Chain A
Amino acid sequence: MRYKSQSVAYWYFAAAMVLFGLQLVFGLLSATKYLGPDPLINLLPFDVTKVIHTNLLIVWVLTGFMGATYWLVPEESRTEIHSVKLAYIQLGLWLLMGVTAVIGYLFGYGAGNKLLEQPIPHKITIVVVMLMFLYNVGMTIKKSGRFTTTEGVLLLGLGSAALLYLPALLHYSNYTVSIYYRWWTIHLWVEGVWEMIQGGFLAYLLIRLTGADREVMEKWLYVIVGLVFIAGILGTAHHYYWVGVPAYWLPIGGIFSALEPVALVGMAIYAYSALRRSGLAHPNKLALHWTLGSAVFTLFGAGLLGFAHTFPSVNKWTHGTLITAMHGHAAFYGAYAMIVLAMIVYALPSITGRKEGGSAAGYWSFWLQLGGMFGMTLSFATAGIGQVYLERILGLGYLDTQLKIQVHFLMLIATASIFTVGVVLFIYDFFRHAPRFHLEPEDDDLKDRPTGNLRAETDPVKYG
């Protein structure tokens, strides 16, 4: 840790860990309900466990994004955070929002709009927290006068994420119109600005871990951002296929979402070639696992599995089945869970004073999570293919179809349990060492490298 205020990140990460653990509790509960009968049906029905499962995901990933940004910005801008106090108030308010929302869901309070179930006071709090966060980070950079491309991409991503949440605050009397704007938030988050955030973290990690040339990495980061938006913005159309909008969204969705994997292939090549070409061996190999893992799993979950059902002629049959759950789990995990975990694993040794190389539990956690999530993806895929064939093509009733694919739900629970073991190990490894916020001696980004083929960071764009 080079800057005292970076210790803020630890508390964001710690909160993210607890929420991640809780997310899995509700995920497992939801999965067992697929087997049924459900003894908790009147106490904790599926809709409640599912809404908590997805909302906790959004809250912990965003907590991780904010924590990782508070870690990254002092290093990139070489200064302390503008207001540490504001960062803690922001975390407190954010967690209060998250926890009361979940308690509300337990008692049936919610807006009932998929992924945007937060009641209006909570939605307003989310906007306030995002503004506090952007202000704090913006002021930090302004004061330092050093603004890197990586930071720029990251901040633009976070700022747009806040902006795109605004349509969710409005009320629409037409259900189709409300669907139209719901995707401005959800799709443009996960297939647009969140990918920018992921790209920003990826660039930061690759520069630090592999010693890749900053100029080259940031140049390609721009290319990736360009590709993400060419495909991502008009790719929103793949959510507009069957919801009551004009028919021209069908071919637009087909063409542009077919392009979405291009940016993700770019991202994976970017990470792999940075690793290949660097002459540097950073001791934190575990962080490198998570970084490369995120790039590769995103290509698999978001790229390949998204592509699998994105053409209108295919989607006509697969839409609204467990095929979507297959893609959703792998994509969210690879792109967003893994990049946050990568940032945490990278930052942990200097926040807690543990060894850089990573522990055995850390490696077990990585492989168990990866294997478990891969198995869960296959379980949803096989269940989904069965469902499409039996329910949509043969015309077997929904309930009868679900009975015939029970074995895949057993497989889902088995693989989800493996995944859970991996996550529990990660959380255990996180909390095993108490935080120790000691400062490393000032450096100029060159001295602490074991080998140095690094050029000094150039082209710091002056702010303002």
Chain B
Amino acid sequence: MNKRQTRLFAGAATAVSALVFLVLTIDSHRQFGKLTNADNITPAVSRGKDIWHAKNCINCHTLFGEGAYYAPDLTKITQLRGNTYLEAFLRDPSKFYDEAKYRRVMPAQNLSDTEILDLIAFLDWVSKVDNQGWPPRPILVAGATIPGTDRTVAQQQSVAATSNTQAATAGSVSTADDPVALGQALFNSVSPSCNACHSIAPGVNMVGPSLAGVSARAQQIISSHAYKGQAKDVAGYIRESIHDPSAYVVTGASYSANGISFMPNTYGQSLKPEQLDYLAAYLGSLK
């Protein structure tokens, strides 16, 4: 090849590639509306997007896996956590994660209640964008899909040993603390700990069923004929399931037999009523 030919090659290669790219761009625009549910971009979603930018969220978190790698991905966060949880978290993240334990925590962003709702509306829109099914498995913020894998045997034993004190502490902190945050702490620290048998990741059923989406299921259960318990609402159902596990049994070889749940029935005595409320608040906030 002489220089003229190579110049022609460079020019033609660039022109053809650019042309194909532009055609595909036009076609992508044709599909953006449907893939991203553009009709659902309400003023609240737009305001939420502006807050996302103004607070520089992308330089710690990722969205669609893009951003910085210092904080969890939030693409599907609203499909794992309900509004109650996210609102409480955004009001004061330090209530939910201990910086001393995790070595990092989200700084408080001083958002107003409306701003928080707008931000959640934006994140909810993001979670529904058709993005080729990514992530292939849910990305959890903390804990483990299979509970226990985040701790060594020794750590788990020491948690069990101190769980009563921790539960007592969690129950006695001031009422200004958020019940959802307190519930999250109790979930991992009561004895025996809830997470020994229940995952909060969708579809991960262990000795006990996954508690992801428990509030939606509870709603269906209490309105069905098969339900014979006392609960009138989701929080009531969750409280009842904790202190009286056999009031309604979920069928499954490892869950129950002959109408008796395998779950320990000791929580009614070991937990204070307000602790049951905290757990109900936390579990009710899972989606």
Chain A interface (Cβ < 8 Å from any Cβ of B): 30, 33-38, 41-42, 45-48, 50-51, 108, 110-114, 117, 149, 173-177, 179-180, 215, 218-220, 222-223, 225-227, 229-230, 232-234, 236, 241-250, 252, 316-317, 319-322, 324-325, 391-400, 402-403, 406, 459
Contact = CB atoms under 8 A, between A and B. Distances in A.
B53 A111 contact: yes
Interface of A is mostly: helix
Contacts of B204: 395
A392 B6 contact: no
Query: Interface centre among B17, B25, B29, B32, by most A CB within 10 Å?
Result: B17
A233 B19 CA distance: 10
B55 A395 contact: no
A229 B104 contact: no
B98 to A, nearest CB: 10
A241 B54 CA distance: 26
Interface in B15-37: 17-18, 20-21, 24-25, 27-29, 31-32, 35-36
B127 to A, nearest CB: 11
B6 A33 contact: no
Interface size class of B (residues with CB under 8 A): 35 or more
Nearest to A225: B10
Contact of B137 (A34, A113, A392): A392
B112 interface: no
A41 B102 CA distance: 14
Interface of B: 1-3, 6-7, 9-14, 17-18, 20-21, 24-25, 27-29, 31-32, 35-36, 38, 41, 46, 49, 52-60, 62-73, 97, 99-100, 102-105, 107, 122, 125-126, 129-132, 134-146, 149-150, 201, 204
A108 B146 contact: no
A47 B201 contact: no
Contact of B64 (A50, A177, A242, A406): A242
A396 B107 contact: no
A248 B24 contact: yes
B134 A319 contact: yes
Given A112-B54, A320-B62, A242 B24 contact: no
A282 to B, nearest CB: 24
A176 B59 CA distance: 17
Contacts of A149: 3, 7
A274 B72 CA distance: 47
Contact of B10 (A30, A48, A110, A229): A229
Given A174-B41, A233-B17, A392 B135 contact: yes
A396 B99 contact: no
A418 B65 CA distance: 30
A114 B59 contact: yes
B32 A174 contact: yes
B103 A179 contact: no
Contacts of A229: 10, 13-14, 17-18
A369 B36 CA distance: 44
B54 to A, nearest CB: 6
28 contacts: A42-B107, A46-B68, A47-B70, A114-B59, A117-B56, A174-B38, A176-B32, A177-B36, A218-B3, A223-B1, A223-B9, A226-B10, A227-B13, A229-B17, A230-B13, A241-B134, A242-B132, A243-B131, A244-B35, A247-B132, A316-B136, A324-B69, A391-B140, A395-B144, A397-B140, A398-B73, A398-B139, A400-B150
